[in-house]
Amino acid sequence: MSQLHTVAQTKDLPPGSAIAVDVDGHRVALFNIQGKCYAIDDTCPHSGGPLSEGDVDGTEVECPWHGACFNLTDGSVLNPPAEESVKSYPVHVEGDEIKIEMP
């Protein structure tokens, strides 16, 4: 069963920004793209790079270590060197709270 976890306040994540948050010991990258929030695993499966520190272009993030790209909407890998996708998580904004839905 899924559970909502409050991870940030909207003031902590203005449009165009990204942060890493901890959800029950799991590191998640949280992005605000033009007012819509996305959450994916923060660790690149290729070599462990922090996706929350990557360059964002539209709804794609590039790993800062080796350039693998991921789709923020579903976590799918878009180009090597990563070969595996990352998990994506539903994000709910309720008032000033940003919540991530985790299994």
Q: Over the stretch 17-61, which tens digit does the pLDDT of each residue have? A: 999 999 989 999 999 999 999 999 999 999 999 999 999 999 999
Q: Say how far apart CA 65 and CA 83 lie, in whole Å.
A: 15
Quote the pTM value.
0.96
| Domain ranges within the chain, ordered by starting residue | 3-98
Which fold, 3-98? Rieske Iron-sulfur Protein (2.102.10)
Mean local confidence (pLDDT), 72-84 = 97
